[in-house]
Amino acid sequence: MIPEPLLRGRALILTFHRVFAQRDVLRPSEPDVSEFESIVQVIARHFPVYTVSELVNNLRNKKLTQSGVAISFDDGYLDNYELAYPILRKHGIKATFYVATGFLKGGIMWNDVITEGVRLLQAVEYLKNDHSVRASTQTASEKTSCMSQIVNIVKYLDLNQRRAWLESFRDMNALESLPSLMMEERHLQEMHAHDMEIGGHTVSHPILSSLEKEFAEQEIAQGKHFLEKLLQSDVSTFAYPNGKPGDYNSNHIDFLERAGFSGAVTTRWGTIRITTEPYELPRIGVRGQSRMKILLRLLREYFRS
């Protein structure tokens, strides 16, 4: 364990979405189980580990003398439960899982409609500026390039536009059946019962700044209410969908406070310090099979000036 005095005044939150049984060429930024276990082993051996809500409490109470690392997952993928959760429990590590509640019970997120459609097909058709575009998706590089182009089209559509676009995409490519990738309610209940934190991530995973204020507040509050009713417990931290500057604003921070959240994570890269705003917590990503390289990467981020 790294001596605690060296860690005072700073903290890190690691961010993940998925963990795969084997490397996925269409999701190269996400670890497989071997890599994820290496990361967890390094954290368990060298750092105090907290949930995000515990870090927020320390930050609010000016107690980043009690600092360390938190692990977070966004969206609510089934592999979080099936693959990541057993590794976390094996090493006695807690984590925070941010769940978009509208995709529980066999749902599929909008970006996964695109990813899984492109994965299945040798060519895809999609709408761009109301015109049909056809793209070859025979190779891995063609598939990843096509996915990136489509995601950039769809990401900032409002919810009704996004639903309509996805329906047209499925119709144009005859995508009648796609895999169910998300957790069910019972998975959240089990993880919560074993000291994992469950956090809010809206209902439908919209970019909050793309919504009218009223609907943005509903997305935030309804997701929190659903999770608290399911878990019979307070849900105190939130992850902004997409989470980049401009994807949320001061109005949404006000909505979080009004809903009773004590803090929120972004996708802005950085280290948490005593002066960090609790509703705009930065996170980092970390990768690597070598435990020494993982440790050096974490230390570099921890002490970055």
pLDDT tens-digit map of 236-287: 999 999 999 999 999 999 999 999 999 999 999 999 998 999 999 999 999 8
293's CB contacts (< 8 A; 6+ apart) are none
Burial of 145 (0-12, 13-18, 19+ CB in 10 A): middle
> Is 129 a residue whose pLDDT tops 80?
yes
**Spatial separation of the C-alpha atoms in residues 18 and 112, rounded to whole Å:** 12
Residue-wise pLDDT for 174-188, tens only, equals 998 899 999 999 999
Report which of residues 3 and 224 the model is more confident about: 224
For residue range 61-70, what is the model confidence (pLDDT) as tens digits? 876 665 789 9
For residue 67, give every residue at least 6 positions away whose Cβ sits within 8 Å of its Cβ, in sequence order, or none. 7, 8, 9, 10, 11, 48, 55, 58, 272
Instruction: Residue count of the chain, please give it.
Output: 305
Q: Where, residue-wise, is CATH 3.20.20.370 in the chain?
A: 4-105+181-302
pLDDT at 274: 87
285 φ, ψ to 5°? -105, 150
In the beta sheet, which residues pair with residue 99? 75, 200
Q: How far apart are CA 201 and CA 207, in angstroms?
A: 11
CA distances from 84 to 37, 276, 290 (A): 8, 28, 18
Average pLDDT over residues 119-141: 92
CATH of domain 4-105+181-302: 3.20.20.370
Model confidence pLDDT, tens digit, residues 223-248: 999 999 999 999 999 999 999 999 99
3-state SS of 143-210 is: HHHHHHHHHHHHCCCCHHHHHHHHHHHHHHCCCCCCCCCECCHHHHHHHHHCCCEEEECCCCCCCHHH
Residue 109, token pair as written in the block? 């997120």
